Structure 1
Amino acid sequence: MSTSQVTLEGVYPILATPFTDRGEVDEESLRELVRFQLQAKVNGIALFGNASEMYTLLEREREVIAAIVTDEVKGRVPLVFGSGHTGLEGAVQLSKWAQKAGADALMVLPPYMVKPDGKRMIEYFSAIAKAVDIPIMLQDAPVASGVSIPVSTMAKLAKECENISYVKVEAPPTTVKITEVLEQSEGRLTVFGGLNGMYYYEELCRGAAGTMPACEFPDVCVEIYRRFVSGDRESARALFYQYLPFIRIGTVAGFAMSVHKEVLKEGGVIQSAYVRNPNAPIDNILRKEVLETLSGLDPHVLRWKRRTDLNG
Structure 2
Amino acid sequence: MSTSSRMNFAGINNIMITPFTETEKVDYDSLCNVIDKIVSKGVHAITILGVAGEAHKLSDQERSEITVKAFETVAGRCPIIVGTSSNSTKEVVSASCFAERHGAAAVMIAPPKGLQFGPQLIEHYSEVAKSISIPIVLQDYAEVTMVDLSPQNMLDLLRSVPQIAAIKLETPPTPLRMSETRQIVNDDIAIVGGNGGVLFFDELLKGANGTMNGFAYSEALLEIWNHWNNDNQKSAEKSYFWILPLLTFEFQPKIGLAIRKEILRQRGWIKTAVLRGVSSYLNSEILSDLSNIMKNLSIEDKYDNN
Q: TM-score range by the shorter chain?
A: over 0.9
Give the drift of 1:300.
5.9
Equivalent residue number for residue 142 of structure 1 = 142
Equivalent residue number for residue 86 of structure 1 = 87
For the 8 Å contact 1:216–1:301, the answer to whether it is kept is no
Give the drift of 1:108.
0.7
Q: Which amino acid aligns with 1:7?
A: N
Distance (Å, rounded) in 1 between the aligned partners of 2:225 and 2:77: 19
Q: Secondary structure at the match of 2:107?
A: strand
Is 1:176 paired with 2:176? yes
For the 8 Å contact 2:141–2:147, the answer to whether it is kept is yes
Q: Structure 1 residues 278 and 150 mapped into 2: Cα distance closer, same or farther (>3 Å)? A: farther
Q: Secondary structure at the match of 1:106?
A: strand
For the 8 Å contact 2:122–2:160, the answer to whether it is kept is no
Q: Structure 1 residues 190 and 133 mapped into 2: Cα distance closer, same or farther (>3 Å)? A: same
1:31-65 deviation digits (Å, cap 9, x = unpaired): 11012112211001011111111111111111221
Q: Secondary structure at the match of 1:293?
A: helix
Is 1:76 paired with 2:77? yes
Q: Secondary structure at the match of 2:295?
A: coil
Distance (Å, rounded) in 2 between the aligned partners of 1:78 and 1:145: 26
Equivalent residue number for residue 157 of structure 1 = 157
Alignment of 1:255-294 (within 5 A): 255-278=255-278, 280-294=280-294
Equivalent residue number for residue 216 of structure 1 = 216
RMSD between aligned alpha carbons? 2.0
Equivalent residue number for residue 203 of structure 1 = 203
For the 8 Å contact 1:129–1:161, the answer to whether it is kept is yes
1:52-93 deviation digits (Å, cap 9, x = unpaired): 111111111112211111111111111011111112222222
Distance (Å, rounded) in 2 between the aligned partners of 1:166 and 1:134: 12
Q: Which amino acid aligns with 1:164?
A: I
Equivalent residue number for residue 41 of structure 2 = 40
For the 8 Å contact 2:294–2:300, the answer to whether it is kept is no
For the 8 Å contact 2:215–2:247, the answer to whether it is kept is no
For the 8 Å contact 2:219–2:303, the answer to whether it is kept is no
Aligned-pair identity in percent equals 27
Is 1:186 paired with 2:186? yes
Q: Which amino acid aligns with 2:205?
A: C
Distance (Å, rounded) in 2 between the aligned partners of 1:27 and 1:298: 30
Is 1:232 paired with 2:265? no
Give the drift of 1:281.
3.3
Equivalent residue number for residue 59 of structure 1 = 60
Q: Which moved more, 1:96-105 or 1:219-228?
A: 96-105
Is 1:106 paired with 2:107? yes
The unaligned stretches of length 5 or more in structure 2 are none
Distance (Å, rounded) in 1 between the aligned partners of 2:75 and 2:264: 23
Distance (Å, rounded) in 2 between the aligned partners of 1:302 and 1:291: 15
For the 8 Å contact 1:181–1:189, the answer to whether it is kept is no
Give the drift of 1:299.
3.8
1:249-302 deviation digits (Å, cap 9, x = unpaired): 222222111111000011111110010125753222112222222223244699
- Shift >6 Å, 4+ stretches: none
Distance (Å, rounded) in 2 between the aligned partners of 1:264 and 1:18: 10
Equivalent residue number for residue 310 of structure 1 = none
Distance (Å, rounded) in 2 between the aligned partners of 1:73 and 1:145: 30
Q: Which moved more, 1:118-127 or 1:188-197?
A: 118-127
For the 8 Å contact 1:275–1:281, the answer to whether it is kept is no
Q: Structure 1 residues 194 and 130 mapped into 2: Cα distance closer, same or farther (>3 Å)? A: same
Q: Which moved more, 1:43-52 or 1:100-109?
A: 100-109
1:143-197 deviation digits (Å, cap 9, x = unpaired): 2222222222211222232211100000111111111212222334210001011
Q: Which moved more, 1:117-126 or 1:49-58?
A: 117-126
Q: Structure 1 residues 294 and 237 mapped into 2: Cα distance closer, same or farther (>3 Å)? A: same
Q: Which amino acid aligns with 1:46?
A: T
Q: Which moved more, 1:75-84 or 1:99-108?
A: 99-108
For the 8 Å contact 1:158–1:164, the answer to whether it is kept is yes
Q: Structure 1 residues 303 and 234 mapped into 2: Cα distance closer, same or farther (>3 Å)? A: closer
Normalised to the residue count of structure 1, the TM-score between the two structures is 0.91
